[in-house]
Amino acid sequence: MSGGFAVAEGRGQEFFLAVLNKNLDRLIYVCHMPSMTRGPDKQFDPDAVLEKAMQVFWAKGYAATGLAELQARMGIGRKSLYDTFGNKRQLFIKALQLYSDSVVGQISAELDKKGSPLGNVRRLMRSLEEDHSLPESMGCLLGVSMAQCPSDDGEMAGILRHHIQRVEEAFYRAFKRARDIGELNRSTNTRDLARLFMGIAQGLALVGRVQDAPSVPRSIVNAALATLKSA
Amino acid sequence: MSGGFAVAEGRGQEFFLAVLNKNLDRLIYVCHMPSMTRGPDKQFDPDAVLEKAMQVFWAKGYAATGLAELQARMGIGRKSLYDTFGNKRQLFIKALQLYSDSVVGQISAELDKKGSPLGNVRRLMRSLEEDHSLPESMGCLLGVSMAQCPSDDGEMAGILRHHIQRVEEAFYRAFKRARDIGELNRSTNTRDLARLFMGIAQGLALVGRVQDAPSVPRSIVNAALATLKSA
DNA sequence: TTTAACATAGACCGATTGGTCAAAGAAAAG
DNA sequence: CTTTTCTTTGACCAATCGGTCTATGTTAAA
């Protein structure tokens, strides 16, 4: 026996059986294997189930969340979980991306609205204030994860950095437009300002996770918006 | 047998043997028991060892830190650890308090210096910027813990809230003084401003934990300090 | 109806978790 | 010396961890 083989799999699809040499660098034979039958469909919606997983990670953090709890809240068996999402880490990363896309989408939608860009910023910040004033506020999943990301995990850190950057960019577009139309001073450094507001939003979410009274989030947003009046 | 008893223990001290009635609400007899001998002292410094534990929790978070790693980094046996600190949770809480006292002490010392209060704020913020621009920055242990605190843990949430409040108060004293001596506008809401800067500091620490380039912390502090020029 | 391809539920795995305990050693008073 | 008190070491515990796998069920093409 001097060969190996590899298959390209797929759900309900045809696939190939490939025979390789023993160094795995030469294709010796390829056999097309059309799939004749198929099994039943999944009994759950992967997106809906991922959303549930996201909430558990959000509330408890990555390390403190066990497979048993994930299974229970997602309402699926363990085999299904691993077949669909790979493993706990990959499930977490998919949850991070789901959350990031959703949050960045909402923030961008608000900030990119027509009309006064500073008005959009004010509306967004008041909305964030409201969210993080609720007693059940859990902060921001990405922020929570930044706090837990092991320093040697480059992939995860990359996702978190990317999220930060997208939020910064959304603020930047708004502030740039505000400067262009005269809502901000010509001398304002819009890049710095965008990063500041991104940082404030993260701090707000973090504080809101612990704070019970709404006065602190309220103050933070008050003061943050006050700085725009004279910028 | 109609009585119970209780002893008040102490290291190398005399103690008392108290005989109580069966409802434990009446003292029947008290016997003074002077201690005659004593054993060896601890072979480690509890404070130094607690500092080590704090660093592990800081780097990895509460849930992801195991007893084995704590033991290794603290350099003591498991029994010693439990005898000295109670259990993992209590060890963590003691580490939180150690960290909080240290950080609040440093911040207050800087902000309460004589001279220009806004100058103190600028110096502090630049110093925070420098800290959180280092590639090995781990953010703020209290911030990291806010992100991991289970929502049902009231005691831990209380410690975190108290920390936030102490930082806010340090900023408040500085801004109040700044307003009194005319460095800030009379119309400035110093309470809001103090809370904003507390929030910015937390956000800065969080972002610094993930960010590798120093440009983002730099921008955040630039913009934060710029707001003071016209407040 | 047969059969291959899927999904499901849950038993099972070694490793690790936080936590306890017994045995041995060290220090100091008598 | 002996005795008592205290520390230390490391074995040990049940429970849980993330992950795998087998047995069973279900679907739809042949």
Find the CATH number of the domain harbouring A203.
1.10.357.10
**Would the pLDDT of A36 be above 60?**
no
> How buried is residue B216: exposed, middle or buried, by Cβ count under 10 Å (0-12/13-18/19+)?
buried
Identify whether the C-beta of residue B197 lies closer than 8 Å to the C-beta of residue B176: no
Decide if A95 is inside a domain: yes
- Asked if A195 has any chain B CB less than 8 Å from its own CB, the reply is yes
pLDDT at B230: 74
pLDDT at A20: 53
Of the two residues B79 and A15, the one the predictor is more confident about is: B79
B19 φ/ψ sector (left φ>0, alpha ψ -120 to 50, else beta): beta
Identify whether the C-beta of residue A194 lies closer than 8 Å to the C-beta of residue A167: no
Of the two residues B151 and A200, the one the predictor is more confident about is: A200
Say what percent of chain B tops pLDDT 70: 82
Tell me the nt nearest to B44, Cα to C1'.
D7
pLDDT tens digits along B141-163: 999 999 998 888 889 999 999 99
**What mean pLDDT comes out for the span A175-195?**
97
- φ and ψ at B212, to 5 degrees? -100, -40
A200 & A146 share domain: yes
Position B20 confidence tier, pLDDT thresholds 50, 70, 90: low
Identify whether the C-beta of residue B139 lies closer than 8 Å to the C-beta of residue B206: yes
CB contact under 8 A, A210 and B136: no
- Asked if B27 has any chain A CB less than 8 Å from its own CB, the reply is no
Shortest Cα distance, chain B CAs vs residue A160, angstroms: 7
In angstroms, rounded to a whole number, what is the distance separating the alpha carbons of residues A101 and B64? 27
**Would the pLDDT of B30 be above 90?**
no
- Asked if B225 has any chain A CB less than 8 Å from its own CB, the reply is no
In angstroms, rounded to a whole number, what is the distance separating the alpha carbons of residues A131 and A192? 25
**Would the pLDDT of A137 be above 70?**
yes
For A37, A209, B139, B210, the CA distances from B192, given in Å and listed in that order, are 66, 19, 24, 28
For A46, A103, A203, B21, B219, the CA distances from B193, given in Å and listed in that order, are 45, 27, 14, 59, 19
Which residues constitute the domain of residue B17?
3-33
B11 & B78 share domain: no
CB A14 under 7 Å to nucleic chain C: no
Q: Counting one residue from A and one from B, how many pairs have CB atoms under 8 Å apart?
A: 163
Decide if B51 is inside a domain: yes
The whole-number Å distance from A44's CA to C5's C1' is 18
pLDDT tens digits along A69-96: 999 999 999 999 999 999 999 999 999 9
B17 & B75 share domain: no
Q: Tokens at residue B135, please?
A: 């590639």
> How buried is residue A6: exposed, middle or buried, by Cβ count under 10 Å (0-12/13-18/19+)?
exposed
CA neighbor of B230 nearest in space, from B200, B187, B176: B187
A100 & A167 share domain: yes
**What mean pLDDT comes out for the span B22-34?**
55
In angstroms, rounded to a whole number, what is the distance separating the alpha carbons of residues A44 and A76? 8
**Would the pLDDT of A5 be above 70?**
no
- Asked if A208 has any chain B CB less than 8 Å from its own CB, the reply is no
Decide if B118 is inside a domain: yes
Decide if A40 is inside a domain: no
B11 & B85 share domain: no
The whole-number Å distance from B39's CA to D2's C1' is 15
CB contact under 8 A, A148 and B198: no
Position A151 confidence tier, pLDDT thresholds 50, 70, 90: confident
Decide if A215 is inside a domain: yes
**What mean pLDDT comes out for the span A161-175?**
98
Position B7 confidence tier, pLDDT thresholds 50, 70, 90: very low
Q: How many CB atoms lie within 10 A of CB B7?
A: 10
Length of chain A: 231
CA neighbor of B156 nearest in space, from B83, B76, B97, B201: B97
Q: How many CB atoms lie within 10 A of CB B206?
A: 30
A68 & A23 share domain: no
B112 & B27 share domain: no
Q: How many CB atoms lie within 10 A of CB B64?
A: 17
pLDDT at A150: 85
Position A164 confidence tier, pLDDT thresholds 50, 70, 90: very high
Q: What is the mean pLDDT of chain A?
A: 87
Decide if B106 is inside a domain: yes
**In the sheet that B15-21 helps form, which strands lie side by side, from edge to edge?**
B3-8, B15-21, B27-33
Position A6 confidence tier, pLDDT thresholds 50, 70, 90: very low
- Asked if B20 has any chain A CB less than 8 Å from its own CB, the reply is no
Q: Fill in the amino acid letter for A96.
A: L
Q: Tokens at residue A76, please?
A: 């699926």
CB contact under 8 A, B230 and A226: no
In angstroms, rounded to a whole number, what is the distance separating the alpha carbons of residues A227 and A229? 6
CB A79 under 7 Å to nucleic chain D: yes
A24 & A58 share domain: no
| Best residue of A58, A204, A227 to probe chain B, by most B CBs closer than 10 Å | A227
In angstroms, rounded to a whole number, what is the distance separating the alpha carbons of residues B167 and A216? 13
Residue-wise over A14-42: b if at least 16 C-beta within 10 A, else e? eeeebebeeeeeeeeeeeeeeeeeeeeee
Position B105 confidence tier, pLDDT thresholds 50, 70, 90: very high
pLDDT at B51: 97
- Asked if B206 has any chain A CB less than 8 Å from its own CB, the reply is yes
Decide if B41 is inside a domain: no
A21 & A70 share domain: no
Length of chain B: 231
| Contact map slice: B 134-173 vs A, CB within 8 A | 136, 138-139, 143-151, 157, 160-161, 164, 168
Q: Fill in the amino acid letter for B69.
A: E
Shortest Cα distance, chain A CAs vs residue B132, angstroms: 13
pLDDT at B10: 43
pLDDT tens digits along B180-231: 999 999 999 999 999 999 999 999 999 999 988 899 999 999 999 999 987 6
Give the CA radius of gyration of chain A. 24
In angstroms, rounded to a whole number, what is the distance separating the alpha carbons of residues A178 and A115? 10
Shortest Cα distance, chain B CAs vs residue A194, angstroms: 8
Shortest Cα distance, chain B CAs vs residue A148, angstroms: 6
Q: Tokens at residue A30, please?
A: 């390829």
Position A152 confidence tier, pLDDT thresholds 50, 70, 90: confident
Q: What is the mean pLDDT of chain B?
A: 88
Identify whether the C-beta of residue B7 lies closer than 8 Å to the C-beta of residue B17: yes
Position B120 confidence tier, pLDDT thresholds 50, 70, 90: very high
B21 & B77 share domain: no
Position B1 confidence tier, pLDDT thresholds 50, 70, 90: very low
**Would the pLDDT of A10 be above 50?**
no
pLDDT at B38: 63
**Would the pLDDT of A28 be above 90?**
no
A74 forms bridges with which residues in the sheet?
Answer: none
Of the two residues B91 and B10, the one the predictor is more confident about is: B91
3-state secondary structure B24-92: CCCEEEEEEECCCCCCCCCCCCHHHHHHHHHHHHHHHCCCCCCHHHHHHHHCCCHHHHHHHHCCHHHHH
CB B68 under 7 Å to nucleic chain D: no
A25 & A56 share domain: no
Say what percent of chain A tops pLDDT 70: 81
A22 & A108 share domain: no
| Best residue of B92, B149, B216, B230 to probe chain A, by most A CBs closer than 10 Å | B216
pLDDT at A61: 95
Counting the structural domains of chain A, the total is: 2
